[in-house]
Amino acid sequence: MSDAPKIDTDAPPPTVLAQLGGVSGLVFSTLPVLVFVPVNALAGLTAAIWSALGLAVAILLWRLVRRDPVQPAISGFFGVALCAFIAHRTGDAKGYFLFGIYTSLVYGGVFLVSILVRRPLVGIIWGYLNGTARQWREHRRAVRAYDIATAAWVLVFVARYLVQSQLYDADETGWLAVARIAMGWPLAAVAFGVTFWAVRRADAIVAEAADPRPRESAERESGSRESQAGA
């Protein structure tokens, strides 16, 4: 008789929040920016760069010690390192935000194009993450739901680019940090909410098309009740 532990195959997949490191991961992702700006004002760009990098390394080590998921911390470290490198190359603290600004522009453009070519990225990404087929593309209402969710992300990315690029051109490094945080997870949470609605609606449409019996049964019950009322 085997003593091997049983694997719960019915366990739900990790949520998006869990994949991002949970609430602590969201908090940790903002710390390098919160350190970079004041250190730059007090001690200069070089000290700010090393402070942000050091904090990113500390966060990674902390998650390793606690045996928390480290993928968000690794991604965060490389993101901080790239932003710090751009700031070093430009010789200006506002360069730290340049990568995020243009990333928002590129993402917004890609998501917008996906709507125009009738391949909304939210649907494609969800199908890949969930391991499902692309039946939703055969249903206009499902495609429309994913269009709406993808458009929500377009608005988020475009808003980030427009606001932060204006602050960048105005040399408002401090306000850039505020905008980076305020337009980060708060706006993403709204877009995730729209995405959740779209996924639920599209899955229901596909399931209904695959097995219309529940709908037909409900229609028969409704018709029966109307007949009894008429009698």
pLDDT at 2 (0 to 100): 45
Q: Domain spans of the chain? A: 15-91, 94-212
What whole-number distance in Å separates Cα of residue 139 and Cα of residue 101?
35
Mean predicted confidence (pLDDT) in 4-14? 43
**pLDDT 10s digits, 122-170:** 999 887 777 666 778 888 898 999 999 999 999 999 999 999 999 999 9
- Tell me the torsion sign for CA atoms 166, 172, 175, 180: positive
| Average pLDDT across the chain, whole number | 81
pTM of the full structure: 0.77
Transcribe 127-151 into DSSP letters: HHHHT--SGGGG-HHHHHHHHHHHH
CA 220, 224, 230, 231: dihedral to nearest 10 degrees?
Answer: 150
Residue among 21, 81, 71, 36 at smallest CA distance from 176? 36
Beta strands in 32-156 (DSSP E): none
